[in-house]
Amino acid sequence: MLTLYIANKNYSSWSMRPWLVLKAFEIPFQEHVIYFDRERSIGLFQQKLTAISNNAKVPILCDQGLKIWDSLAICEYLAEQYPEQALWPKDKTQRARARSISAEMHSGFASLRTLCGMNIRAQLADVGQRLWAEHAALRQDVARIEQIWAERPDPAGFLCGAFSIADAFYAPVVMRFQSYALPLSESSQRYMQSMLQHPAVQAWIEAAMLEGHWVNYLEAYQVEKV
């Protein structure tokens, strides 16, 4: 059986993507969570990952001794192993679009990633309002994402038709937009609702809310409640 190594569901956007793909398409797998250290300097998280893969980053997918790392590489591998599942859209045009926007997310949107780290438990509307006013690059990132979302074939549906790898790649963005309450168009809010109602996304959120692991260096805008 496939084994997927991930980090905290509350924080780890990279882990979320392949987990959602596996869950959404009902591909059997075992989940193994390696929690981030409370302080970055502790080093246990890196030690545990290094024992699994020299890359020492999550996610890591293991398949009978084969190790695949990097969220996009994992999803491509799954698409090859399960072609009947249409993890990428079957339609050529939508498949090309799905790959393009997934690659764009994989390598871009640095301001959004840096300023608005994924924190599903947090309610950071005040922080989001301040960041929105102060950072033009953040506004540009959001505008591009909204443009991508607005081009989905069905306003009531997902990015390239049925739920696909592309939606899994933008799921952490949905989490960020919700936590920081960034101003979005009605069309974008509709897409977010479609994502938030997806059973796999709901399962991830529920698990994230139940995690009791606080990571100081990923909580730039909050103080732990004792």
Which CATH number covers residue 39? 3.40.30.10
- Of the candidates 98, 83, 67, 78, which has an alpha carbon nearest to the alpha carbon of residue 5? 67
pLDDT tens for each residue of 173-201? 999 999 999 999 999 999 999 999 999 99
Structural domains of the chain, count: 2
Has residue 225 got a pLDDT over 60? Answer: no
Judge if 31 and 118 occupy the same domain.
no
Based on the domain organization, do 127 and 201 belong to the same domain? yes
Q: Which domain holds residue 129?
A: 92-207
Give me the chain's average pLDDT, please. Answer: 96
With a pLDDT cut of 90, the percent of the chain lying above it is 96
CATH label of the domain that carries residue 150: 1.20.1050.10
Q: How far apart are CA 189 and CA 195, in angstroms?
A: 10
Determine, yes or no, domain membership for 223: no
pLDDT band at 62 (very low <50, low <70, confident <90, very high): very high
Asked if residue 176 and residue 69 are part of one domain, the reply reads no
User: Is 179 inside any structural domain?
Assistant: yes
Residue 141 sits in the same domain as residue 65: no
97, 202: one domain:
yes
pTM for the model stands at 0.97
Q: What is the mean pLDDT of residues 5-16?
A: 98
Mean predicted confidence (pLDDT) in 27-43: 95
pLDDT at residue 220 above 90?
Answer: no
Q: Are residues 81 and 98 in the same domain?
A: no
pLDDT score recorded for residue 226: 46
pLDDT at 55 over 80: yes
On the question of pLDDT at 121 being above 60, the answer is: yes
- Work out the pLDDT band at 41, boundaries 50, 70, 90: confident
Same-domain pairing of 123 and 166: yes
Do 52 and 140 lie in one domain? The reply is no
Share of the chain above pLDDT 70, in %: 98
* Shared-domain flag, residues 66 and 106: no
Provide the phi-psi class of 43: left if phi over 0, else alpha when psi is between -120 and 50, else beta.
Answer: left
Same domain for 65 and 15: yes
Mean pLDDT (whole number) for 197-213: 97
224 belongs to a structural domain: no
pLDDT (mean) for 118-146: 98
Segment 20-40 shows an average pLDDT of: 97
pLDDT (average), residues 98-124? 97
- Shared domain for 98 and 61, answered yes or no, is no
Do residues 205 and 120 touch, judged by C-beta distance below 8 A?
yes
Tell me: pLDDT of 15 over 50. yes
| 17 and 123 housed in the same domain | no
